[in-house]
Structure 1
């Protein structure tokens, strides 16, 4: 398999890279120190307006918090092991460093439906309209077969997450189906995708793990939230890794990244 990272340390084994191409994701344990997760979680708890020691204050199933670029978050997304993994999956020089971890949907144990548990892929660029209202309406954003604007989907666990703690659900291998679905739309891409039945026969994985775990996912991976049925609130960020240059599905030198290889495999085999 071609790689662009021979000059740097490897964070992922060949088996893990093959798993990423086939399944659409790889789990990286201890991707950032638990200390940073603890420090970041303290900031997040403050901003929820809830008391971590009094569950009576946990009155909503999900609290959405804005962008976080304080030091614990900036350090968490910029560890050497993550940078090495980005090099291996996206290509050295082909991704942009992040200075923040974006937003946090904090999920609480709650009987009510959070109302956001549909199967989806994360959209990555606005449509062609010049209307600023439409361009700012993220529900109308698009995704295309070359994943314009998004190199990876990343799941950063800032708390220990077990099966009952609302882990993100993942349809294993669904990124390949998405590539085939997007192919006819070309560079214009698609929006308002209804993905309930896409890859419905694929096995489901749960993004569980200890604080400091990161799931690095293909941008086409179909995933979903779920209600929290555990006892401890779930803290997780879901930021994109942005590309420094567009993905290319035809390279004269054959130096394809694993993200590109997965798309090519889907289109050539489908």
Structure 2
């Protein structure tokens, strides 16, 4: 594999992002940073990596982590170059760190958070998360990002992605204009418009990053492996208003959906 820091996205990768809603970046940040991050995250979980009997919950949610090694992992030159390609130079905010980390542990128990959804991006001051909103301009979010801080195989609770689902969500959001729709409204149909999409698992070694269109439908799943999964899922924040007339691949995908 060629480290992302030594190359830009190919035309084929950009086209895949536009049509399928995501791109996988191998070696997006050094595995050494992932290892440093896991040590910090293990401490924050309150669990002992050498004592599985302390892994008593299927998921432990950790907040935002700033500074090294997290800010370094989020701001490699290769990632910055890729953000420029997908969103546009000067149109996104550098990451001060990473979060949130839903740390998933091997467990027979239902984690209770495995429904299909998109990550809504404004109105988050409302204490009811079902009232949080998304709109056709993707206010408050330029990308959904998945940073793998541990090796993730098919049994290790990889995020499930419905490839191409962002197009149906764009069509759903468009009539609602700037006000957009709440998560509750979007979820009322069970995201049925994405049911026929191919399901892709966000697997890969530590240091892999998935950059996803903000409208991409995805979900968590139970962990059936042997080692906990460490992954951050931060937004890339925009500095400008996105729209279907814009030049970036994020905006071109919206234009494609709306015809």
State the TM-score bracket (shorter-chain normalisation).
Answer: over 0.9
Matched, 1:171 2:166: no
Matched with 2:132 is 141
Distance 1:239 1:158 in 2: 13
Alpha carbons 2:160, 2:220 under 8 Å: kept? yes
Q: What is residue 183 of structure 1 aligned with on the other side?
A: 174
Unaligned runs of 5+ in 2: 1-5
Q: How does 1:209-248 map to 2 (within 5 A)?
A: 209-248=204-243
Do 1:11 and 1:82's aligned partners in 2 also have CA atoms closer than 8 Å?
no
Name 2:97's counterpart in structure 1. 100
Q: How far did residue 136 of structure 1 move?
A: 4.2
1:10–1:94 distance in 2 versus 1, CA, 3 Å: farther
In structure 2, the partner of 1:266 is 257
Offset at residue 198 of structure 1 (A): 2.5
Cα distance in 2 between the residues matched to 1:49 and 1:22: 41
CA deviations 1:117-158 (Å, max 9, x no partner) are 00000010017xxxxxx6344331100011011000000000
Aligned to 1:131: none
Gaps of 5+ in 1: 1-8, 128-133
Structure 1 contact 110–229 (Cα < 8 Å) conserved: yes
CA RMSD of aligned residues (A): 1.2
Does 1:257 find its partner at 2:245? Answer: no
- Once the two structures are overlaid, the 10-residue window that deviates more, 194-203 or 52-61, is 194-203
Distance 2:215 2:91 in 1: 18
SS in 2 for 1:170: strand
The whole-number CA distance in structure 2 between the counterparts of 1:201 and 1:249 is: 24
Shift of 1:231: 0.3
Structure 2 SS opposite 1:208: coil
Query: C-alpha separation between the residues in 1 aligned to 2:127 and 2:87?
Result: 27
In 1, Cα distance between the equivalents of 2:47 and 2:214?
Answer: 33
Taking the aligned partners of 1:117 and 1:176, their CA distance within structure 2 comes to 22
Query: Aligned to 2:161, what secondary structure does the other structure show?
Result: strand
Q: Which runs of 4+ in 1 moved over 6 A?
A: none
Is contact 1:41-1:159 (8 Å) kept?
yes
Listed one character per residue, the Cα deviations across residues 94-121 of structure 1 (whole Å, up to 9, x for unaligned) are: 1111111021000000010000000000
How many angstroms apart in 2 are the aligned matches of 1:242 and 1:137?
Answer: 22
Post-superposition CA distance 1:16-62 (Å, at most 9, x none): 00000010000000000000000000000001111101111100000
Q: Secondary structure at the residue paired with 2:205? A: coil
- Post-superposition offset of 1:10: 5.2
Match of 2:25 among 23, 28, 43: 28
Q: How many residues align?
A: 250
- How high is the TM-score relative to the length of structure 2? 0.94
Contact 2:156–2:224 (Cα < 8 Å) also in 1: yes
Q: 2:50 aligns with which of 34, 49, 53?
A: 53
Q: Distance in 1 between matches of 2:93 and 2:229?
A: 28
